[in-house]
Structure 1
Amino acid sequence: MQIDKLITGENVSLALFFIGVYGIIARRNILKSIISLSIMQASIILFFLSIRHTDQMVPPIGIGLTGEVADPLPQALMITAIVIGVSVTALSLTMFTSLYHKYGSTNWKKVKQKRGDQ
């Protein structure tokens, strides 16, 4: 099997998704969890944009298109997903900042123990 057939958008996005899952499961740091969620979100966007993509596809712009035309719907949906992902990341970082100032830790377990003491 040739290496160029192995490295596709779908395979890269699956590898990135599982790297994000590992970051969520294996790390107790809140900031690393937020970064892992962002990696997972980016991999999902890459996966949806690379589904059914071929090199012969042309953008759906202009008159007299010949050949296979790329579907613009996944692209429009992924632009929306990017905006929502940036908003969720900004909100979670804001919550992280206030949580860090209140409890003085970035570790999930330590914050949970300190919350239980109050």
Structure 2
Amino acid sequence: MLDWLDLSWLNGANVAVILFFIGVAGLVLRKNMMISVIAVGIMNTAIILAFVTMGSSVDHVPPMAAETVAAAADPVPQALMITSVVIGVAVQTVFLVLVLNHYRQHKTLDWDEAKAIRAGRPPAGTATPSP
């Protein structure tokens, strides 16, 4: 049906690279803080996917099902990625709390307006009081 579509390049490592750069683009190109939170989550997921893909092999079986030690998959990378997932969730949570706290105080999610507020200038689009 889709003979013209060659998906031989589609593997875990390539998808991880694509996802990572989608996250980088979200951080660089967007001014919204919530998009930045989502972009960091996408980048974290891409890194985990890259490590899991590079550490996987079709020749190995789970350690509990292996009959020999040579046939068993190494459980250390899996344990490290589970730890990475937990740390990633914690970082996302802290980032989200900081963004929500900033929004409650300043009523903006724009990075440029946040920089202006921090520098003591009025944010763009607000009227300055005349003397």
TM-score computed with the length of structure 1 as normaliser: 0.89
The structure that has the greater radius of gyration is: 2
Runs of 5+ consecutive residues of structure 1 not aligned to the other structure = none
Structure-2 separation of matches of 1:27 and 1:104: 18
Higher helix fraction: Structure 1 or Structure 2?
1
- Give the structure, 1 or 2, with the largest relative contact order (CA under 8 Å, sep 6 or more): 1
The CA deviation string for residues 16-52 of structure 1, in whole angstroms up to 9 with x for no partner, is 0011011111011111011100000000001000104
Tell me the amino acid that sits aligned with residue 75 of structure 1: Q
TM-score computed with the length of structure 2 as normaliser: 0.80
Q: How do 1:21-40 and structure 2 match up within 5 A?
A: 21-40=24-43
Percent sequence identity over aligned pairs: 37
Runs of 5+ consecutive residues of structure 2 not aligned to the other structure = 122-131
Q: Is 1:84 aligned with 2:102?
A: no
- Is the CA contact (8 Å cut-off) linking 2:19 and 2:46 kept in structure 1? yes
User: How many residue pairs were aligned?
Assistant: 117
Partner of 1:60: 63
Divergent runs of 4+, >6 A: none
